[in-house]
């Protein structure tokens, strides 16, 4: 029997806050539906849709904010993997969202999935939080598990998110920091801001905030993938979304 999103229980607010930054359960549910639409629109932009993929991964799914909307949209025979480094969040998904294969990840790759076993990797806001070295390793791992010709829909903090953050820095009087990061984005294209979060007990040391330009993404992410589409301000109307095809 197919389950609907409304039938899936809501996670404890502590887990919700780890993925949305707020304990607002209404936003958790509503924004999950919006993010599913973001993924669907991104695939639609290259004339693809969820029905065409058999083995699907939500990489960094947290407590299933988007997954709870995605699972009811898939046919029962489509296999959905839920992955995160947050063991509490994955434990909750395992207990509460039926028909999903769960994976608790180590902070560093690999996953336990076989080479070229996945048709589609979906993701909202994980490559927004990694250092450059860690991002490089996880991108290579995503590439390892995706079949040649398979797709990855991944988000990143592009210029748009940087513009918002730089305004905040300027308004807080942190003008030297703002100028430094801006120069670095212009010259190199990637900048990571460290700083532990409230969830430092459960999230890896490297979890901070990263910004990257499309020039950097074209240069570095295309080692394993071809960019099929790039949408600015597309993920919850602020992060950028890339649709990548495995080479
Ligand atoms: C901003 S939350 C987004 C969660 C979920 N994708 C969503 O949209 O609700 C970032 C997630 O990335 C997870 N994370 C951090 N480092 C990770 C890594 N290396 N691999 C997979 N997930 C990671 C965190 O535990 C957290 O659940």
Arithmetic mean of pLDDT over the chain = 95
Residue 197 predicted with pLDDT over 80: no
The residue whose CB lies within 8 Å of the most ligand 1 atoms, and thus the one to mutate among 17, 19, 21, is: 19
Can you list the domains of the chain with their CATH numbers? 5-199+229-246 (3.40.50.150)
Q: Is the CB of 141 under 6 A from ligand 1?
A: no
Residue 190 predicted with pLDDT over 80: yes
Q: Is the CB of 191 under 6 A from ligand 1?
A: no
- Taking only the tens place, the pLDDT of each residue in 154-184 is 999 999 999 999 999 999 999 999 999 999 9
- Taking only the tens place, the pLDDT of each residue in 106-138 is 999 999 999 999 999 999 999 999 999 999 999
- For residue 61, the CA-to-ligand 1 centroid distance in Å is 6
Q: Give residue 73's pLDDT.
A: 97
Q: Sign of the CA dihedral 33, 238, 150, 116?
A: negative
Residue 84 predicted with pLDDT over 90: yes
Give the model's confidence band at 203: pLDDT under 50 very low, under 70 low, under 90 confident, else very high.
Answer: confident
Percentage above 70 pLDDT, the chain: 97
The order of strands in the sheet holding 79-84 is 100-104, 79-84, 55-59, 118-122, 146-156, 239-246, 225-235
Residue 147 predicted with pLDDT over 70: yes
Q: Give residue 93's pLDDT.
A: 98
Q: What is the SS3 string spanning the chain?
A: CCCCHHHCCCCCHHHHHHHHCCCCHHHHHHHHHHHHHHHHHHHHCCCCCHHHCCEEEEECCCCCCCHHHHHHHCCCCCEEEEEECCHHHHHHHHHHCCCEEEEECCCCCCCCCCCCCEEEEECCCCCCCCCHHHHHHHHHHHHHHEEEEEEEEEEECCHHHHHHHHHHHHHCCCHHHHHHHHHHHHHCCEEEECCCCCCCCCCCCCCCEEEECHHHHHHHHHHCEEEEEEEEEEECCCEEEEEEEEC
Q: Is the CB of 145 under 6 A from ligand 1?
A: no
Residue 2 predicted with pLDDT over 80: no
Paired tokens of 65: 């904010």
Q: Give residue 195's pLDDT.
A: 74
Give the model's confidence band at 1: pLDDT under 50 very low, under 70 low, under 90 confident, else very high.
Answer: low
- Taking only the tens place, the pLDDT of each residue in 22-73 is 999 999 999 999 999 999 999 999 999 999 999 999 999 999 999 999 999 9
Residue 201 predicted with pLDDT over 80: no
Atom of ligand 1 nearest to the CA of 138: 19
């Amino acid at each position: 029997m197919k389950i609907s999103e409304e039938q899936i229980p809501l996670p404890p607010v502590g887990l919700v806050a780890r993925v949305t930054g707020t304990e607002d359960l209404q936003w958790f549910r509503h924004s999950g539906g919006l993010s599913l639409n973001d993924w669907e629109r991104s695939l639609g932009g290259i004339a693809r849709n969820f029905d065409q993929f058999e083995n699907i991964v939500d990489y960094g799914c947290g407590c299933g904010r988007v997954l709870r909307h995605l699972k009811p949209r898939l046919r029962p025979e489509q296999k959905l993997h839920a992955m995160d480094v947050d063991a509490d969040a994955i434990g909750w998904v395992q207990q509460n969202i039926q028909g999903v294969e769960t994976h608790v990840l180590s902070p560093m790759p690999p996953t336990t999935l076989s080479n070229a076993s996945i048709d589609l990797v979906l993701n909202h806001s994980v490559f927004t939080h990694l250092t450059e070295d860690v991002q490089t390793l996880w991108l290579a791992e995503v590439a390892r598990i995706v079949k040649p010709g398979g797709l990855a829909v991944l988000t990143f903090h592009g210029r748009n998110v940087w513009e918002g953050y730089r305004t905040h820095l300027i308004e807080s009087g942190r003008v030297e920091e703002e100028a430094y990061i801006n120069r670095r984005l212009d010259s190199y294209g990637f900048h990571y801001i460290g700083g532990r979060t409230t969830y430092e007990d459960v999230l890896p040391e490297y979890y901070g905030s990263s910004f990257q330009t499309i020039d950097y993404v074209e240069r570095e992410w295309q080692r394993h993938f071809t960019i099929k589409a790039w949408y600015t301000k597309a993920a919850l109307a602020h992060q950028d979304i890339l649709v990548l095809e495995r080479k």
